[in-house]
Amino acid sequence: AELDTLDLVVLAAILLGTLAYFTKGKYWGIVKDPYATAFANANGAKAGRTRNIVEKMDESGKNCVIFYGSQTGTAEDYASRLAKEGKSRFGLETMVADLEEYDFDNLDTVPSDKVVMFVLATYGEGEPTDNAVDFYEFITGDDVALSEGNDPALGSLNYVAFGLGNNTYEHYNSMVRNVDKALQKLGAHRIGEAGEGDDGAGTMEEDFLAWKDPMWAALAAKMGLEEREAVYEPTFGIVDRDNLTRDSTEVYLGEPNKMHLEGTAKGPFNAHNPYIAPIAESRELFSAKDRNCIHLDIDVSGSNLTYQTGDHIAVWPTNPGDEVDRFLDVIGLTEKRNHVISVKALEPTAKVPFPTPTTYDAIVRYHLEVCAPVSRQFVATLAAFSPSDEIKAEMTRLGNDKDYFHDKTGPHFYNIARLLATVGKGQKWTNIPFSAFIEGLNKLQPRYYSISSSSLVQPKKISITAVVESQMIPGRSEPFRGVATNYLFALKQKQNGDPKPEPFGQTYELDGPRNKYDGVHVPVHVRHSNFKLPSDPGKPVIMIGPGTGVAPFRGFVQERARQAREGAEVGRTLLFFGCRKSTEDFMYESEWAEYKKDLGDKFEMVTAFSRESNKKVYVQHRLKERSKEVNELLQKKAFFYVCGDAANMAREVNSVLAQIIAEGRGVSEQKGEEVVKHMRAANQYQEDVW
């Protein structure tokens, strides 16, 4: 294939970018992430902190560090749990560390009486999480520059590894696999198996629990550790601040950082620092009564936030009031919900995951993932604090017996408060130290959405297309409701003057801490992605986006329509969309017709309505019907995009495409698969799936 000028420009840019990237990987500390640095400066947070892990462990008296590479907080949570367990069961002096905050060129000086653990999530297409990029490039690089020049380089390093992945992705757990391989190659000694958790099969938690026990046994043997009766020691101390009230200016009521507290919030806006954005417009996209899908336009003109078509926007949700109430009630804190407290780390390497002084209400509402499924290990930890012996026996059984736990909790979608309320049979759990919740619950995580607008058309207005999460639960009157999407739904209701903005009886603090989100505002930041249109609009594109998977393709088509209107030569633009019924959940139906006015025959939308005939028709069936054209377009170097459901759709589209290529080119299916693999490697096949 010939390269045109635009391609060359893009290639040059990629090369330069790659060079900068690797340079950054080798000469630590010289070129830093401008965002991280600006944020650190703005907050004075990281100033003066050592990036030398050996030094850090020495000065804090630690013999075990647990590094995490985490995107959504789960790996970080597992790291904390390992730290806690190592300390309570074996008396290890543990610390948890963000991979991003340390350098690794002296990993060869970690003495053999210490152990380094890695808890590593694999993100997207087998990529490291944002905070693990530098480490990953370093450790898997061809020429790992370690300080001492030992042979083998990491001969004295003892390590433990666990990965978090999703088997529906092509590069299942590639982070932990590749890091493990790299460490082995450098002569390091792994203790226990390299564990792998599978989110795709829904067994992440159980995979983790099943992996860690033999790992601890192997570690105890290797390091001569003796197991003791596990004693709970709080990581955080709670200090009552009786001289402060929730109206005192220094008290955080949900503000994410000091700038937000003081009303001086400014960019860069990122995963540590959201922009409180006005919602310009919001509306419903479905006409079905019992299902909701919403479109939001987020106005970022008051910030320096930018995006490119295909990027993701992160929404920072708050928990619904009824769940906050339930949680505070079951642990007997309703009366004290507005008491001001400070939370102090009781040991130097622990970090309080939210700013204080604050209130119990603000912690539960803004900072803890209290609605998430309960973890079996956490239930086991809480057993010791049961209000009666009978309840303790039940909690212990739930904590130890996997099948019993899943029978009892699985069908009910219990979160922690619902479980405690059920098991406690009305008794309050007043013995649980509040520290246990800070340690045992995940931090409330931002939710990502594929931006559904084009940055060319609306650079300062970011669109979101989201289905409101709701699932019927047998035996419960009201369905399970997702955190972020119901929060967004409530904002939409408010904006549209609905007399009952609280959807389904759930109340949200829509005005935010100190009414700072008054009007209709939502905290957001933008995450850049690699899901991108070809730089040359003349290239053909094939897009597969059923349901909300169509989100980024609304942006893509919007962009190409604008380019066509402005006179660019735009290539074939083929979109496969699927939903249940044309009359029910056909999103943006009238908009597509508008885009067609600009794009003419270049644009075609192929629809699959799964519930309009006896036979269920999905996008992959329609794709198959278009085999001939699809194959021809691919031979003309069309870009191929898939967005939406990772579990089934994306996989099936992949295999249908391999068949199309095999048949169209008269090669074996295996060869077809290989062609698809090459397309992926060359970015000609891009996925944005969740």
Task: Say whether 536 is catalytic.
Answer: no
Q: Give me the DSSP letters along 69-132.
A: E-SSSHHHHHHHHHHHHHHHHH---EEEEEGGG---TTGGGS-TTSEEEEEEEEETTTEEPGGG
413 in contact with ligand FAD (CB under 6 A): yes
Residue 467 contacts ligand FAD per CB under 6 A: yes
Cα distance between residue 154 and residue 114, in whole Å: 13
Q: Contacting ligand FAD (CB under 6 A), which of 138, 169, 448, 609?
A: 448
List 178, 319, 455, 548, residue binding ligand FAD (CB under 6 A): 548
123 binds ligand FAD (CB under 6 A): no
DSSP H/E element including 527: strand 521-527
Size of the residue set binding ligand FAD (CB under 6 A)? 22
Q: What is the dihedral of CA 87, 401, 399, 76, to 10 degrees?
A: 60
Find the shortest distance in angstroms from Cβ 645 to ligand FAD.
Answer: 10
| Under 8 Å between Cβ of 341 and 238 | yes
Query: CA-CA distance, 472 to 287, in Å (whole number)?
Result: 19
Rank residues 369 and 629 by Cβ distance to ligand FAD and give the closer one.
Answer: 369
Least distance (Å) from ligand FAD to the CB of residue 129?
12
> Does 465 sit near ligand FAD (CB under 6 A)?
yes
Q: Which is nearer to ligand FAD, 94 or 465 (CB)?
A: 465
Whole-number Å distance between alpha carbons of 227 and 219: 11
**Which residue in 238, 372, 457, 617 binds ligand FAD (CB under 6 A)?**
372
Q: Is 376 in the site for ligand FAD (CB under 6 A)?
A: no
Tokens coding 130:
């944002």
Q: Find the shortest distance in angstroms from Cβ 626 to ligand FAD.
A: 25
Catalytic residue among 130, 585, 598, 688: 688
Q: Say whether 579 is catalytic.
A: no
Q: Does 312 bind ligand FAD (CB under 6 A)?
A: yes
Q: What is the rounded distance in angstroms from the CA atom of residue 360 to the CA atom of residue 345?
A: 17
Select 469 or 652, whichever has its Cβ closest to ligand FAD: 469
455 is catalytic: no
With respect to ligand FAD, which residue has the nearer C-beta, 175 or 466?
466
308 binds ligand FAD (CB under 6 A): no
Concerning whether 688 is annotated as a catalytic residue, the answer is: yes
Distant-in-sequence, close-in-space partners of 275: CB < 8 Å, separation ≥ 6: 265, 267, 269, 300, 302, 303, 305, 523, 524, 525
Candidate segments 127-135, 146-154, 371-379, 419-427, binder of ligand FAD by CB under 6 A: 371-379
Cβ 317 to ligand FAD shortest distance, Å: 6
Question: Nearest approach, Cβ of 508 to ligand FAD (angstroms)?
Answer: 12
Q: CA-CA distance, 322 to 329, in Å (whole number)?
A: 10
Element (H, E) at 538: none
Which residue of the set 282, 435, 450, 453 is catalytic?
Answer: 450
CB 516 within 8 A of CB 276: yes
Nearer to ligand FAD, 554 or 680 (CB): 554
- The number of beta carbons lying within 10 Å of the beta carbon of residue 16 is 10
Find the binder of ligand FAD among 373, 433, 459, 664 (CB under 6 A): 373
Rounded CA gap, 562 and 598, in Å?
A: 7
Element (H, E) at 303: none
**Smaller CB distance to ligand FAD: residue 372 or 647?**
372
Q: Which stretch binds ligand FAD (CB under 6 A): 1-9, 141-149, 357-365, 366-374?
A: 366-374
360: how many CB neighbours lie within 10 A of its CB? 22
CA angle 52, 56, 57 (to 5 degrees): 120
Using the contact rule CB under 6 A, the part of the chain among 23-31, 225-233, 448-456, 588-596 near ligand FAD is 448-456
* Residue length of the chain: 690
Residue 268: asked if its preceding bond is cis (omega within 30°), the reply is yes
Q: Which is nearer to ligand FAD, 81 or 418 (CB)?
A: 418
Collapsing DSSP to helix, strand or coil, 313 comes out as strand
Q: Which stretch binds ligand FAD (CB under 6 A): 59-67, 369-377, 381-389, 655-663?
A: 369-377
**Spatial distance between the Cα atoms of 355 and 254, rounded to a whole number of angstroms:** 9
Q: Residue with the closest Cβ to ligand FAD?
A: 482
**How far is CA 191 from its chain centroid?**
28
Catalytic residues: 450, 643, 688, 690
Residues contributing to the site for ligand FAD (CB under 6 A): 312, 317, 371-373, 413, 415, 447-450, 465-467, 469, 482-485, 548, 551, 690
